[in-house]
Structure 1
Amino acid sequence: MSYAIYPSLTGKSVVVTGGGSGIGAAIVEAFARQGARVSFIDVAESESRELQTRLEGCAYAPRFYRCDLRDIDAIDCVFNEIDTLAGPIEVLVNNAANDDRHTFEEVAPAYWDDRIAVNLRHQFFCAQRAAAGMKRAGKGVILNLGSISWHLALPNLSIYLTAKAGVEGMTRGLARDLGRSGIRVNAIVPGAVRTPRQMQLWQSPDTETKLIGDQCLPQRIEPEHVARMALFLASDDGERCSGREYFVDAGWYGA
């Protein structure tokens, strides 16, 4: 099958958080194969190094940076290094997240704070840091990864749902605040994506059957389907798209 090539992405400095595996790795590969200068951030070193090695043949080999995004000072240090080596950030993809399950009764304040830091807070501060250079350039793109989960009220994910609902509100706020500087901000909302983590931890043959039955399209979503949406929204082809949510969920309405 043949997919779009976006000349406007060639040479662009792109940062992807949580880029070492799953959806993030597909986004890293998609941008790298478009000829972008991709820098990606993760805490999973082995998977990230493997991805970096696999993509060495691209026009610009992606660079991996180990960083715990809960550490705001560390984010600033990494972004400074990226600016030096790859040029000012032109596209930021806020992908990093973790959907660990939890019951309502077991949540303590420290766990709440940690889950919000993992799933929401870093998106704001990465955007704040990247937007400084984008403002000087008079253009830029920020893509925040949301989740279908809060739209469906999935169980045992109350903090994750809270964070992902917040991503969509933050996206609209940033789109308004940054739009006059030529910066476009959108949210991508994946459905049930078939990543190794999801298949190992949450899916079984029975849940797979129900999931496909609840979708309008009876096909599973792969990470590259989400990556293709990111490419379009980051490219000049999406130049009038901002402040919106773009679903890649195969029309999933069940719960």
Structure 2
Amino acid sequence: MTRHATFHDLKGASVYITGGGSGIGADLTDGFLAQGAKVAFIGRSDASAFVAEMERRHGVAPLFLQGDITDTDRLHASIREAEEAHGPVDILVSNAANDKRHDWLKLSPQEWDDLLAINLKAYFFAAQAVAPGMIARGQGSIINFSSVSYMMGNAGYPAYTAANGGITALTRSLARELGPNGVRVNALAPGWVLTQKQLDKWATPEGLAAHLDRQCLKTHLVPQDVVDATLFLASNASRMMTGQCMVVDGGVVTTG
């Protein structure tokens, strides 16, 4: 991975990432390790090979904590395990999500609950678990991954877009709750990042061309674009930013 910037204050920071062993989450783990941070991440699938790769690359291994973030007890337990290994969490990155396409006319109540559990509920309960330690220290950064999909009014996955609108609203409320204690809470809303999953499942030549036509910048987003923005929000470089939803999408949507 090519580093575009170095944030010196992230060296030694205790970072916890949901879904940090695959997709953009793996790039986030890589990016924080490159800054000298201590990284722990939770994921459902075995990530031993990825952990070994990171250790070869950085000389230090991230801490893999196997579990499902929709299991709140396991989520909270994994955060305690991360803190035992690396100290209180300084930076929480809630990244794990499921943008599964679904037909709204056929979506069952259980499917709705399952999608909201991973795409919204886990964001709240992860923040709930790290907040007491951050409050006690008078500092911390929580970064919640949202998406421009709900701002665009995209069709094809209404439970996902509803959850992402909720993430932005949750972020603003938590920023108000935690701000008096020096804790920052921001959302990051990427555009269409061309991960391998996106290329394999949903990207078509026609779809890619149409989306690029909507962008001001005529280059597709790659995971590094999201990593750089996350590092900025984690760092003291953004120390007076909170309650914001920062868009990184090449200029598809506008805010303000």
- TM-score where L is the length of structure 2: 0.95
In the alignment, the residues of structure 2 paired with residue 101 and residue 131 of structure 1 have an alpha-carbon distance, to the nearest angstrom, of: 33
Query: Which runs of 5 or more structure 1 residues have no equivalent in the other structure?
Result: none
* Residue 136 in structure 1 maps to residue 136 in structure 2: yes
* Contact 1:35/1:59 (8 A) holds in 2: no
CA-CA distance at 1:19 after TM superposition: 1.0
Q: Are residues 1:50 and 2:49 paired?
A: yes
- Structure 1 residue aligned with 2:40: 39
CA distance in 1, matches of 2:216, 2:210: 12
Identity of aligned residues (%): 38
- Which segments of 5 or more consecutive residues in structure 2 lack a partner in the other structure? none
Q: Read off the aligned partner of 1:71 and give its amino acid letter.
A: D
Q: Deviations over 1:63-109 (max 9, x none)?
A: 11111011111112111111111111000000000001111111111
Aligned letter for 1:34?
Q
- Equivalent residue number for residue 195 of structure 2: 195
Aligned to 1:121: 121
Q: Structure 1 residues 2, 18: CA separation in 2 closer, same or farther (over 3 Å shift)?
A: closer
Could you tell me how far apart the structure 2 residues matched to 1:151 and 1:87 are? Answer: 37
Q: Distance in 2 between matches of 1:92 and 1:53?
A: 23
Tell me which amino acid in the other structure corresponds to 1:8: D
Give, in angstroms, the shift of residue 210 of structure 1: 1.3
Quote the offset at 1:2 in angstroms.
6.0
Residue 219 (1) aligns with residue 219 (2): yes
Query: Contact between 1:79 and 1:129, CA under 8 Å: does it hold in 2?
Result: yes
In structure 1, what is the equivalent of residue 82 of structure 2? Answer: 82
Which residue number corresponds to residue 93 of structure 1? 93
Contact 1:35 1:60 in 2 (8 A): no
* Pairs aligned (count): 252
CA-CA distance at 1:60 after TM superposition = 3.5
Letter aligned with residue 138 of structure 1: G
SS at match of 1:55: helix
The Cα offsets for residues 145-193 of structure 1, whole Å up to 9 and x where unpaired, read as 0011111111111110100000000000000000011100000000000
- Structure 1 residue 59: Cα displacement: 5.0
Conserved 8 A contact 1:38-1:60: no
Report SS of the residue matched to 2:188: strand
Q: Name the counterpart of 1:182.
A: 182
Aligned-residue offset at 1:50: 2.5
Q: What residue in structure 2 maps to residue 64 of structure 1?
A: 64
Q: Which amino acid counterpart does residue 13 of structure 2 have in structure 1?
A: K
* Cα deviation digits, residues 188-235 of structure 1 (max 9, x gap): 000000111111100012211112111111101001110100101111
Find the counterpart in structure 2 of residue 250 from structure 1. Answer: 250
Q: CA 1:3 to 1:78, structure 2 compared with 1: closer, same or farther past 3 Å?
A: same
The CA deviation at 1:49 is 2.3
**Partner SS, residue 29 of structure 1:** helix
SS at match of 1:106: coil
Letter in 1 for 2:193: V
* TM-superposed deviation, 1:240: 0.5
Counterpart CA distance in 2 for 1:149 and 1:3 is: 26
Distance, in Å, in 2 between the alignment partners of 1:222 and 1:3 is 13
TM-score (norm 1): 0.96
SS of structure 1 residue aligned to 2:99? coil
Alignment of 1:20-35 (within 5 A): 20-35=21-36
Distance 1:210 1:44 in 2: 34
Check if 1:9 corresponds to 2:10: yes
One-letter identity of the residue aligned with 1:230: T
Q: Distance in 2 between matches of 1:172 and 1:85?
A: 30
The answer to whether 1:233 aligns with 2:233 is yes
Looking at structure 2, the residues matched to 78 and 51 of structure 1 have their Cα atoms a distance apart, in angstroms, of: 18
